[in-house]
Chains A and B, each alone.
Chain A
Amino acid sequence: MSRLAAMFSRLQESHRTALIPFLTAGDPSTTGVVALLHSLVRAGADAIELGVPFSDPMADGPVIQGSSERALARGVSLRQVLAWVRDFRRQDQDTPIILMGYLNPIEILGMRHFAEEAADAGVDAVIVVDLTPEEAETDTALLRQAGIDPIFLLAPTSGPQRVAAVKRLGSGFVYYVSLRGITGAQQQDWDEVVARVAELRRELAMPMAIGFGIRDAATAKRLAGKADAVVIGSALVQLLQQAKDDEDAQRLASEFLAPIRAVLDEELGA
């Protein structure tokens, strides 16, 4: 069983919602990446989404754009990100790592080569933001051959044909974008999101993660027990900009995740 499947089955037994923090690899620093990943796990992360910086992150809001630019300025490449994952795996064999990025840096390596390298480094799943299901036939086959789950996004506006395509090509879980717009925007109607996610989970027979617009314990609380996973990105990335050094980044991240972890577990007790 893959690490992702094992994680979801473990959580499902206890009816817990997975907490998946997002970080841009190489921000706030390149020296503390692996230690920061471990600290996220200690603070309650069930899996980690690791952003691969790209020069033109067209689906991202200002916060993640900024982190991407800073990471690129520090010379971070996809190869470097894979090296960090490999390093992380020396101490952590269980926590799934999901890479999130754009297609062009992957294509330069070649999708087959990338899939093999990523699997070897210990990557479990990949979200390619600008790879839509209709363009993804060959690429998803290459990823799955290497044992990597291709994760697709669905939005409130995605129609039945798109849902069917994601069911056919995706695996691992489906990432539900809880709002229209870009990462970091505000969401209003969580009830609608929860209802749609429940429908999609039945239809797709895959775990559903909710992302975009989840900022804190209060928003996470509304989704506890209703989604299989929540992804928190912009709010954490923004916070980490204040870090004075690598230790401080770990402390900030832990303090940020702790209350969110608590509400996710608390709801379950209720």
Chain B
Amino acid sequence: MAVYQQPDERGHFGDYGGRFVAETLIPALDELQQAYKAAQRDPAFQAELHSELRQFVGRPNPLYHAQRLSSEIGGAQIYLKREDLNHTGAHKINNAVGQALLARRMGKRRLIAETGAGQHGVATATVATRYGMDCVVFMGEDDIQRQSSNVYRMRLLGAQVEAVRSGSRTLKDALNEALRDWVSNVEDTFYVIGTVAGPHPYPEMVRNFHRVIGDEARAQCLELTGRLPDACVACVGGGSNAMGLFYPFIDDQAVRLIGVEAAGLGLGTGKHAAPLTAGRPGVLHGNRTYLMTDENGQIEATHSISAGLDYPGVGPEHAYLKDTGRAEYVAVTDAEALAAFHRLSRVEGIIPALETSHALAYAFQLAAQMRVEQSIVVSLSGRGDKDIHTVAALEGIHL
């Protein structure tokens, strides 16, 4: 059986990925790629990463059998991979720790990051403090308004939060601004990209730092059920938690891999963030992938109830997995996600992030069509504390 080996040397996942950046950024990417390759082969680096994931992040986290929920639905057994129990409350920290250790190894003293909802910004601010580095987080001005508590968390952690006023003032513009900062300060600065997008080697590197999600889930599922799950489900914005979960299962052809995008107000309304479901291939932020773009090639504004999925692109490996048919991609509306948010909170005592709620909403539908002896692993990518203001406001409650 063919063993999955992507990307190629130059970061291509089939037609996707690669490096589409200004010439001025190439040396920084070359330096990063060499340092990352060396770190991958260095047992001391791997040992330190492993130790940090245990001691600082709190891994391994459980694969939790949501029994009440499964029996309420009456179909497949639902298992939740509890990334929400990580330090800082989401999967993002896995990658932030990995990249910060790499930055330290490269002698960089300053970390920069882009953030939308603020989870990746918080994770980067956290590791910068942990390793004694300076940290600047770029965040769209509109997101700063929407996610004020995470802005405050980043500042508590000692990070400087830079408001981005260009373009649509959201995540994509924060990414542009971080790239501009990096290219201007490359000697002492490491750019911690928060998802499986960007120019090579980021999509591969970020996936590899998150594969611990799938590696643990696979072993835990075998231990708990004696076999592999029938399906893995994860939400997809840029797609980092999904790639982390999917990757170790790619060669297990019998395991369905399902990524859930944000359908926002509905795919037909145009107000969504579902490039794989409703977009087309193009080039943005250093890689070729599926994008939301208008007929003139301009990147379109996105909408999702969850700031973390509010991104017009997606990691190039997802684009490849879609085209090859190895993974399936679906989309869930704001309303469906919100219902799942409440259901998990009320049935299992776990408040999920709104991003994660998209994966849950689809998993609930899927489970209902499956048999009780089957199983689904859902990436519970983050906890929902950060979203309670958003949800309360929708119900007319002002906290």
Contact = CB atoms under 8 A, between A and B. Distances in A.
Nearest to B184: A181
B282 interface: yes
21 contacts: A55-B167, A55-B168, A55-B298, A59-B180, A65-B167, A104-B284, A105-B298, A107-B297, A108-B282, A109-B297, A130-B20, A130-B283, A134-B10, A135-B19, A152-B23, A153-B24, A157-B24, A158-B27, A162-B26, A177-B23, A177-B24
Contacts of B183: 59, 180-182
Interface of B: 10, 18-27, 166-168, 172-173, 175-176, 179-180, 183-184, 186, 282-286, 291, 293, 295-299
A64 B341 CA distance: 43
A142 B20 CA distance: 18
Specify which of B166, B179, B282 lies most central, judged by the most chain A CB atoms within 10 Å of its CB. Answer: B166
Interface string A19-30: 000000000000
A108 B295 contact: yes
B23 A158 contact: yes
A72 B260 CA distance: 32
A41 interface: no
A204 interface: no
Given A56-B172, A78-B297, A134 B19 contact: yes
Contacts of B298: 54-55, 72, 104-105
Interface of A: 54-59, 61-62, 65-66, 69, 72, 77-79, 102-109, 129-132, 134-135, 152-155, 157-159, 162, 177, 180-182, 185
Contacts of B23: 132, 152-155, 158, 162, 177
B296 to A, nearest CB: 4
A55 B299 CA distance: 6
A108 B284 CA distance: 13
Given A58-B179, A107-B283, A181-B184, A157 B297 contact: no
Contacts of A159: 27
A109 B295 CA distance: 9
B21 A132 contact: yes
B186 A105 contact: no
Interface pairs A-B: 10 shortest CB-CB = A105-B297, A108-B297, A59-B22, A181-B184, A157-B27, A153-B23, A77-B296, A55-B298, A130-B20, A104-B297
Contacts of B282: 104, 107-108
B162 to A, nearest CB: 13
Contacts of B186: 180
Contacts of B26: 132, 155, 157-158, 162
Q: Which of A108, A130, A182 has the most CB of B within 10 A?
A: A130
Given A55-B168, A102-B283, 7 more contacts: A56-B299, A65-B166, A107-B297, A131-B20, A154-B23, A177-B24, A181-B24
A180 B184 CA distance: 6
Contacts of B166: 62, 65-66, 69
A42 B363 CA distance: 66
Nearest to A157: B27
Contacts of A108: 282, 293, 295-297
B283 A104 contact: yes
Contacts of A131: 20
A132 B28 CA distance: 14
A132 B24 contact: no
